[in-house]
Amino acid sequence: MSEHVLDRLYEVIDSRKGADPESSYTAKLFAKGQKKIAEKLGEEAVETVIEGVTGDAEKLTAESADLLYHLLVLWSAAGVKPDAVWQELARRQGMSGIEEKARRNT
């Protein structure tokens, strides 16, 4: 089992399924459903983009953390395990992005 912070965060997020939405922000998101979680991820992505455009590295760091957290909540809601994503990224290592896109489109 990987010791990456994202793997540990995913486990905490997963453990919040069925928890009290009054005491857990993650449980509150789960209660809203996958579509709302995806929408929230979109909002966080826009906030990250804004900080990317303004160029404030500290705010970009904070927004990136929000973005990754909400992405993991979406994975958990959709039943996507981090290992599946890590494996997909590992599979692409050594392959250029252009080559990878060409393979996807064939």
Binding site for ligand PRT (CB under 6 A): 9, 12, 16, 24-27, 40, 65-66, 69
Residue type, position 19, single letter: A
Q: Are 26 and 36 in contact (CB under 8 A)?
A: no
Q: Which is nearer to ligand PRT, 81 or 92 (CB)?
A: 81
Cα(85)–Cα(75) distance, integer angstroms: 10
Cα(42)–Cα(53) distance, integer angstroms: 16
Least Å distance, CB 95 to ligand PRT, is: 31
Q: Are 12 and 20 in contact (CB under 8 A)?
A: no
Least Å distance, CB 1 to ligand PRT, is: 18
Report which DSSP code applies to 56: -
Least Å distance, CB 71 to ligand PRT, is: 11
Q: Which is nearer to ligand PRT, 27 or 80 (CB)?
A: 27
Least Å distance, CB 57 to ligand PRT, is: 18
Q: Which is nearer to ligand PRT, 3 or 98 (CB)?
A: 3
Cα(25)–Cα(73) distance, integer angstroms: 11
